[in-house]
Structure 1
Amino acid sequence: MVVTEEQKKGGEMYQGHEVCLPKAVELLQQFGLPGGLLPLEDVEECGVVHDTGFVWILSKKKVDHYFKLAKRKVCYGTEITAHIVKNKLEQLRGVKARELLLWVDVNEIEVDQRDSGKIHFRGLAGITRTFPVECFAPGE
């Protein structure tokens, strides 16, 4: 997976970890998603194309993170892409969650509009998991 210049066209782009991480958290929260969804390190570039909702994050290395409250390990690749809409990341690429002994690609994350206290993770294999939103607050 490589983020192309065509995908970035017309977007806002930021560089450097000190700028990108707060921008990513701000963008998630602006769209109704918890700011702790992306506990990344060494981010080199991030951006958003507001017209299409395309977002990308490029990092120097992959990151394995354990969400204590959700009791789940998640792996973030060096390239993460998605389309962001209100309360949802769609067509997500570059994120895997540990499910029993397997790593499952997560392709959608959605905060439940009927119950904003719940967040749903959907995998390509048809696996869906639901957790309290506070499991993914910044710093968790």
Structure 2
Amino acid sequence: MGTVAETTKLQEREGAEIIRGGEACYQNSMDLLEELGFPKGVMPLQDLEECGRVRATGFVWMKQKAPYEHFFKGTNTKVSYAQEVTAYIEKGKMKRMTGVKSKQMLIWVPIVEMSSLDDGKRIYFKTTVGLGRSFPASAFEEEEKKEGK
């Protein structure tokens, strides 16, 4: 018998559309960001192995081969992505996010929500304590162009 956490994780993923393989997962994650109204450079995950989506609940996940850190020049921010990133999605929003942390001063702060503001011109990132910051969406579009994707 599994733990309560394992059982909950299985229930959360029940009825999921699951995609495996680097290219297919990368394309799926880019399509998802576009569908939600976010610039493609906002989640620069590396070496994706699996991604999934439960349309009934809005639950999504993306698994990488290993955790990854990325420095966004446009926002002067270092962000850490765990091996697995999860969220509940709706148009213009990713909420109840796990696996994403931003380095603020000397502390890693979990990011739990990402919202599109001002008709997609700004993106607001919220932390576990309810505080957050917004950045121009164009800062992440530059990342997209830099990556050549």
How high is the TM-score relative to the length of structure 1? 0.92
For 1:49-128, what aligned pairs fall within 5 Å after superposition?
49-112=54-117, 114-128=118-132
Looking at structure 2, the residues matched to 139 and 15 of structure 1 have their Cα atoms a distance apart, in angstroms, of 25
* 1:116 positional shift: 2.5
The CA RMSD over aligned residues, in Å, is 1.6
From 14, 17, 20, the equivalent of 1:12 is 17
SS at match of 1:98: strand
For 1:20-39, what aligned pairs fall within 5 Å after superposition?
20-39=25-44
Q: Percent of pairs identical after alignment?
A: 37
Looking at structure 1, the residues matched to 53 and 133 of structure 2 have their Cα atoms a distance apart, in angstroms, of 27
SS at match of 2:120: coil
Looking at structure 2, the residues matched to 12 and 32 of structure 1 have their Cα atoms a distance apart, in angstroms, of 21
How many residues are aligned here? 139
**Maintained 8 Å contact 2:38/2:120:** no
Larger radius of gyration: 2
* 1:115 positional shift: 4.5
Q: Does 1:45 align with 2:50?
A: yes
Looking at structure 2, the residues matched to 107 and 100 of structure 1 have their Cα atoms a distance apart, in angstroms, of 18
Match for residue 134 of structure 2? 130
SS at match of 1:135: helix
SS at match of 2:24: helix
- Deviations 1:12-53 (Å, cap 9, x if unpaired)? 110011110110010111111221122111211001111110
SS at match of 1:25: helix
Looking at structure 1, the residues matched to 108 and 37 of structure 2 have their Cα atoms a distance apart, in angstroms, of 27
- Residue type of the partner of 2:130? G
Which piece of structure 1 moves more, 75-84 or 120-129? 120-129
Gaps of 5+ in 1: none
Looking at structure 1, the residues matched to 136 and 80 of structure 2 have their Cα atoms a distance apart, in angstroms, of 20
